[in-house]
């Protein structure tokens, strides 16, 4: 479990394709000790540390992860957002993020504004009912607030600090990002769907 508050960027230092995909990741800056078996969010994807390297660690991704996320597109030198898993007692500065990416979406536009950057994304139909104005969404692992929604798109505003310390500041229109919708919205929708037809939905 994570909070969507990215603490570091990392760089992809090795990629090996086969049954799934193996990558070596090196954090940029002092990340601290990492143990084999630890869970780390990589641009919103929860991956288990499978081994350590001189500069970082090794992770492995299954075919399911490759199909649902941007990880299949990562290449040598690409940068990713990093966040350690949440510990009991840690401050919950963003929102509850599981690291289970729902789908990917393209960036449609980026506009510099006073107080930050407005980013417009495609709204994939499979998650559209779970995205709401003022609701939370994790984009490449970054906890953001939805500011606008239209039929096929939504927007967020990224403040300067987040723009500087995450990979969102490196993105361009046409780039693909990982989306994880707010888990609370998912559970509410599931409960409503489970009600008998005609039951009071409040």
pLDDT at residue 95 in the model: 82
Answer yes or no: do 113 and 77 share one domain: no
Answer yes or no: do 110 and 39 share one domain: no
Structural domains in the chain (count): 2
Kindly report, residue by residue over 144-173, the tens digit of the pLDDT: 999 999 999 999 999 999 999 999 999 999
* Residues sharing a CB contact under 8 Å with residue 54, sequence separation 6 or more, in sequence order: none
List of the chain residues with pLDDT < 50:
195, 197-202
Rounded-to-integer distance, Cα 80 and Cα 64, Å = 19
pLDDT at residue 184 in the model: 75
Assess if residue 90 is contained within a domain: no
Answer yes or no: do 25 and 55 share one domain: yes
pLDDT at residue 199 in the model: 44
pLDDT at residue 86 in the model: 75
pLDDT at residue 177 in the model: 98
pLDDT at residue 1 in the model: 82
């Amino acid at each position: 479990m994570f909070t969507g508050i990215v603490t570091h960027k990392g760089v992809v230092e090795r990629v090996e394709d086969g049954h799934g995909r193996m990558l070596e990741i090196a954090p940029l800056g002092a990340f601290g000790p990492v143990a084999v078996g630890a869970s780390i969010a990589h641009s919103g994807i929860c991956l288990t540390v499978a081994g350590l390297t001189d500069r970082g660690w090794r992770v492995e991704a299954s075919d399911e992860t490759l199909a649902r996320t941007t990880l299949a597109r990562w290449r040598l030198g690409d940068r990713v957002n990093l966040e350690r898993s949440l510990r009991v007692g840690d401050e919950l500065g963003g929102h509850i993020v599981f690291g289970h990416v729902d789908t990917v979406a393209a960036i449609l536009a980026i506009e510099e504004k006073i107080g930050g950057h407005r980013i417009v994304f495609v709204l994939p139909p499979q998650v559209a009912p779970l995205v709401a104005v003022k609701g939370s969404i994790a984009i490449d692992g970054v906890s953001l607030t939805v500011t606008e929604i239209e039929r096929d798109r939504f927007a967020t505003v990224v403040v300067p600090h987040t723009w500087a310390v995450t990979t969102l500041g490196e993105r361009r229109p046409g780039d693909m990002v990982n989306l994880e919708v707010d888990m609370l919205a998912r559970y509410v929708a599931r409960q409503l769907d489970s009600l008998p037809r005609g039951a009071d939905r409040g």
